[in-house]
Amino acid sequence: MNKRQNPAEFLKKVIGKPVVVKLNSGVDYRGILACLDGYMNIALEQTEEYSNGQLQNKYGDAFIRGNNVLYISTSTK
């Protein structure tokens, strides 16, 4: 059985790995989680922006303000 982990443990494990960041607006950003802080401000690398499941744009690095984040999940890229 898997050991339960708190959100801080999860976030430490996914740094350097592909993630999906869902914003309150419904837009998804997919990329490599470079770092984040206690306010959930996020830095992504190799970032792709998706709206309604459609690729809208590609960025090198992206910085997302934490108050816009609905959730962060692991990605199966």
Q: Which residue, among 22, 2, 37, has the nearest Cα to 74 in the 3D structure?
A: 22
More confident residue, 55 or 2: 55
Q: Is the pLDDT of residue 17 over 90?
A: yes
Q: Is the pLDDT of residue 18 over 60?
A: yes
**Domain 13-74 CATH (choose: 2.60.40.10, 1.20.950.20, 3.30.70.20, 2.30.30.100):** 2.30.30.100
pTM for this structure?
Answer: 0.87
Please state, in angstroms and as integers, the Cα–Cα distance from residue 8 to each residue in 24, 41, 51, 60, following that order.
21, 14, 28, 26
Q: Is the pLDDT of residue 1 over 60?
A: no
Please state, in angstroms and as integers, the Cα–Cα distance from residue 25 to each residue in 14, 54, 61, following that order.
23, 15, 20
Please state, in angstroms and as integers, the Cα–Cα distance from residue 4 to each residue in 14, 33, 51, 76, following that order.
15, 22, 32, 21
Domain boundaries, the chain: 13-74
What phi and psi values does residue 43 have, to the nearest 5 degrees?
-115, 125
